[in-house]
């Protein structure tokens, strides 16, 4: 696995880096997965590839992803991206199986922290939600039934780009103002809630160590 060093960038820069990494993998026909961890500054809302524009009344950056899914607020989180040839995933042509394969990297890492995660069961698939983390499907990663990682995919020329948000914490009031819908603690959870003593710096360091050994 090739690991890209952690960095903090604007929303536009982050989406361009992911897109460039995908294009490079395609052009160079790279066979190993390329994995990146990153953060956003300033905070930013990303919209899914085919999502309709939504009114953002706060003074927050907005960017559009090349992947699908619903809007995300990139604020108190760590984001990951993984580019991998479809041929490297067992039954990789299956979208659900490819999600599970790539998300399995995240689940295995959390096990090293003593945290058991699993996949969502589609408890809440209400298509009217604007905020991605309120929608739980079988491809999402949860802790005790609460969503903690939301992911989206894009496929091109035999390669998959999957990236997603690992919630470290969240500003409930800001989310509710942005998306004009209630954010319930029964639906989502965070690294802070599960591991109160964990800092982002330590989380990234632990994750980097894990990735470099695989």
Question: In CATH, what number is assigned to the domain containing residue 6?
Answer: 3.30.930.10
56 vs 109, higher pLDDT: 109
- Known catalytic membership, residue 82: no
Q: Please tell me the predicted confidence (pLDDT) of residue 140.
A: 86
Between the CA of residue 94 and those of 28, 153, 160, what are the distances in Å?
24, 12, 12
DSSP assignments along 7-20, one per residue = EEE-HHHHHHHHHH
Residue 76 confidence (pLDDT) above 70: yes
- What percentage of residues in the chain have a pLDDT greater than 90? 76
- Mean pLDDT, rounded, for 64-83: 95
Which letter does DSSP use for residue 7 in this model? E
- Mean pLDDT, rounded, for 20-44: 97
Residue 146 confidence (pLDDT) above 60: yes
Beta bridge partners of residue 61, listed in sequence order: 44
173 Cβ contact list (under 8 Å, min separation 6): none
Write down the catalytic residue from 44, 82, 132, 142.
132
C-alpha dihedral sign at 35, 41, 43, 46:
negative
Q: Which of 105, 123, 121, 119 is nearest to 162 (CA)?
A: 105
Domain that holds residue 71: 2-212
Beta strand pairing status for 159-167 and 77-85? Answer: antiparallel
Instruction: Indicate the range of 13-17, 50-54, 158-162 predicted with least confidence.
Output: 50-54
Across the beta sheet with 72-74, what order do the strands follow?
61-64, 44-47, 72-74
188-207 CB burial, b ≥16 within 10 A, e <16: bbbbbbbbeeeebeebeeeb
Mean pLDDT value across the chain: 92
Assigned token pair, 153: 């995919």
The tally of domains found in the chain comes to 1
CB 165 within 8 A of CB 171: no
Determine the distance from the C-alpha atom of residue 19 to the mean position of all C-alpha atoms in its chain, rounded to a whole number: 15
Assigned token pair, 49: 């590839």
């Amino acid at each position: 696995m090739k690991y890209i060093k952690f960095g903090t960038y604007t929303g536009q820069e982050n989406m361009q880096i992911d897109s460039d990494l995908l294009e490079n993998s395609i052009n160079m026909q790279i066979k190993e997965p390329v994995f990146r961890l990153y953060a956003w500054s300033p905070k930013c809302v990303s919209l899914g590839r085919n999502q309709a524009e939504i009114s953002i009344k706060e003074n927050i950056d907005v960017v559009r992803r090349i992947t699908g899914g619903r809007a995300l607020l990139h604020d108190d989180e760590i984001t990951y991206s993984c580019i991998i040839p479809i041929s490297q995933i067992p039954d990789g042509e299956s979208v659900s199986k490819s999600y599970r394969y790539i998300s399995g990297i995240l689940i295995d890492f959390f096990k090293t922290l003593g945290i058991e995660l699993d996949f969502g069961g589609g408890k809440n698939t209400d298509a009217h939600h604007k905020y991605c983390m309120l929608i739980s499907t079988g491809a999402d990663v949860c802790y005790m039934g609460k969503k903690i990682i939301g992911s989206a995919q894009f496929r091109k020329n035999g390669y998959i780009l999957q990236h997603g948000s690992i919630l470290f914490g969240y500003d409930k009031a800001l989310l509710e103002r942005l998306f004009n819908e209630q954010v319930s603690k029964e639906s989502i959870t965070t690294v802070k809630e599960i591991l109160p003593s964990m800092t982002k710096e330590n989380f990234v360091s632990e994750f980097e160590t894990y990735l470099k050994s695989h």
